[in-house]
Amino acid sequence: MLEKISNPKDIKNLSIEDLDILSQEIRERIIEVLSKNGGHLGSNLGAVELSMALHFVFDSPYDKFIFDVSHQSYTHKLLTGRNKLFDTLRQFKGLCGFSHFNESIHDHFHLGHAGSAISLALGLAKNRDLLNRDEHVIPIIGDATLTNGLALEALNNIDQDTKKLIIILNDNKMAISKNVGNIKNLLSRFLSNPRSNKIYSELQTLLEKIPNIGKFLANQGKKLTQSVKNLVSPAIFFEHLNLSYVGPIDGHDIKKMIDTFEKVKNSEKPVIIHVVTTKGKGMEKAISNPESYHGVKPFDITTGDFLSKSKLTFPKVFGSHILDMAKKDPNIVVVNPAMLKGSSLVEFHEKFPDRCIDVGIAEGHALTYAGGIALNKNLKVIVSIYSTFLQRGLDNLFQDICLQELPVIFAIDRAGLSGPDGPTHHGIYDIGFLNAMPNMVIVQPRDANVLKELLNSVFNWKRPVAIRYPNMETIEVKKPLKKRKIGSFDILSKGQDILIISIGHMYKTALEVKKNLQSQGLNPTILDPIFIKPLNESLLKDLLETHKTVITIEEHSIKCGFGSIFNNFIIQNNIKDIDVLNFALPDQFITHGGYNDLIEDLKLDAKSISEKILTATLEKTKDYKVNL
């Protein structure tokens, strides 16, 4: 049946029985593709019937669907003509794992972070009204979205006269990890009583049945009904925000959702429909392990077991080492915005729940909150956060930590290309804005040992520190760990004439480049500066006395990364007769795909770098033959 669906109109004449069959085919298709490509599994399995019911009742793309984060939009993709391409999901030059305006007329934004859907929807509704159109605007948010400040700001700004604005609240009681904070209680208290959503109508019916005065009592009973509603329902919260509340309804009952959507379709007021779904529906392992099966790597489609064995990665090194440190030091506190599992902090949180605080999807709050904890400087505070999520708290970083001269440590995970997740998740801009912060220290470890050494040392520096590292495999060597002072460095390989400065994990590429250059009679020195800010200027000046060509290699935007910092150092110190080649990521939005595919396409692989160095070097000698 799925193969016959080329656009959403194809499902509008299907029976409920056929829709149920189609929902099963869609789940099978999602599981099949994600078992090979990886991707967001649990959230998409939970949103199948919901997405189908929306497309059955409304008319995309005229009616606008905005999936918050949009990681749960796979069913939407399958129903909007992308089934034949679905095998390319998250692959290089294939379908995006999120909504993307360049991919389909049914996708109106390229999204990837939580909290923006309601604001975008309000903007679309305003655009519609000013231009005298009449389409529906339908943001689909998760319950975890309500912990995000931007979503609450948007809710606060809803005009009660806004027509054809329908907010779908997909409540599965989960973000990536379990939801935290007080908002979750607002929804869960209603769901704790399965009969509570019937109370309003039952009370009204009961009063009306009283002889002679029933209708009068029913009319006068609104205050009583409201009181009952306050006891068991989140409705009053949303109604104070100018939203008509409907629900909760079963998010896997297609007929019930279709009936509900039809009833509210022409509401004169904005509506929020509370839909309850099961994350991972249709796959037992995904249901019983919602965190592990939120975003999956390839797995055995029969057993559900992941194919790749667990490897030592930078996040795992961070999580295990900071836990070891916390066992010895009761003053260590970690703050994390809803990424405990991804940041390898689950065990820390289980062991020390008072010292490992998950604040939910609230990045700005996480930073300012950490600043408050760090104020008296008796506690050692770490903010564990993904690079692209740190961007959302830029002003909090500046105003509430750096300006206050608070020694908060930032463990910046996913610093570098995010591969299949694409441009919304590539952590390739943080050096730029961190470097702009006075008094900030920026470091990047090349392996597990250096990461541990930095974690052991940072609290002695008494300054804001950013430790950035990628989510990739690393190595660990059993040897004594040394304390690191600001400006410490490692020369990884001695040579002459050419200096290669590699940042973090790019040292492997630098070593490979050296091997290629040695085959052509060149023998560069390789430096791992470890410290991106501040630069060890005396070291660099010494090296530049004997190395007149400098190569910088980093997995960061070329416009604002280490190369820019180094170039500025050259200019500010009026250093002459130095040739510099900066190798970094281009000034463009970088697509999604496998890591190696992206690196080769962006010419940041060892072969491409070596060829360019040789070309530049040989041009000076008028010999243009480059043969690697």
From 180, 177, 172, select the one nearest 279 (Cα to Cα).
Answer: 172
Instruction: Count Cα atoms within 13 angstroms, Cβ side, for 40.
Output: 20
CB 92 within 8 A of CB 591: yes
Taking the alpha carbons of 510, 513, 519, 521 in that order, is the dihedral positive or negative? negative
- C-alpha 455 chain-centroid distance: 24
Q: Which helix (H) or strand (E) holds 54?
A: helix 48-57
Kind of pairing between the strands at 380-386 and 332-336: parallel
Q: How far apart are CA 472 and CA 414, in angstroms?
A: 8
How far is Cα 539 from Cα 473, in angstroms, rounded to an integer? 30
Please classify residue 185 by burial: count the beta carbons closer than 10 Å to its beta carbon, then call 0-12 exposed, 13-18 middle and 19+ buried.
Answer: exposed
User: Which member of 90, 229, 279, 446 is catalytic?
Assistant: 279
CB-based contacts of 435, cutoff 8 Å, min separation 6? 442, 532, 533, 560, 565
Clarify whether 279 is annotated catalytic. Answer: yes
Q: Are 457 and 497 in contact (CB under 8 A)?
A: no
Q: Give residues with Cβ within 8 angstroms of 311, minimum separation 6.
A: 473
Give buried/exposed letters for 97-128 (b at 16+ CB in 10 A, else e): bbbbeebbebbbbbbbbbbbbbbbbbebbeeb
| Selected catalytic residue, list 49, 363, 453, 555 | 363
The packing angle between helices 222-232 and 199-208, to 10°, is 160
Q: What CA–CA distance (Å, rounded) separates 322 from 345?
A: 9
Per the CB < 8 A criterion, the answer to whether 389 and 337 are in contact is yes
Which pair of structure tokens corresponds to residue 303? 């057993």
The phi, psi pair for 555, rounded to 5°, reads -100, 70
User: Residue 11: which of 107, 96, 66, 83 has the closest Cα?
Assistant: 83
Q: How many helices (H) and strands (E) does the chain have?
A: 25, 19
- Peptide bond between residue 407 and the one before it cis (omega within 30 degrees of 0): no
Q: Mapping DSSP to helix (H, G, I), strand (E, B) and coil, where does residue 44 land?
A: helix
- Catalytic-role residue among 229, 392, 484, 533: 392
Residue 268: active-site member: no
Are 81 and 11 a contacting pair, CB within 8 Å? no
String of DSSP letters for 365-391: HHHHHHHHHTTTSSSEEEEEEEHHHHG
Active site residue 414: no
Cα radius of gyration (the chain): 28
The 8-class DSSP code of residue 292 comes to T
List the catalytic residues.
Answer: 279, 363, 392
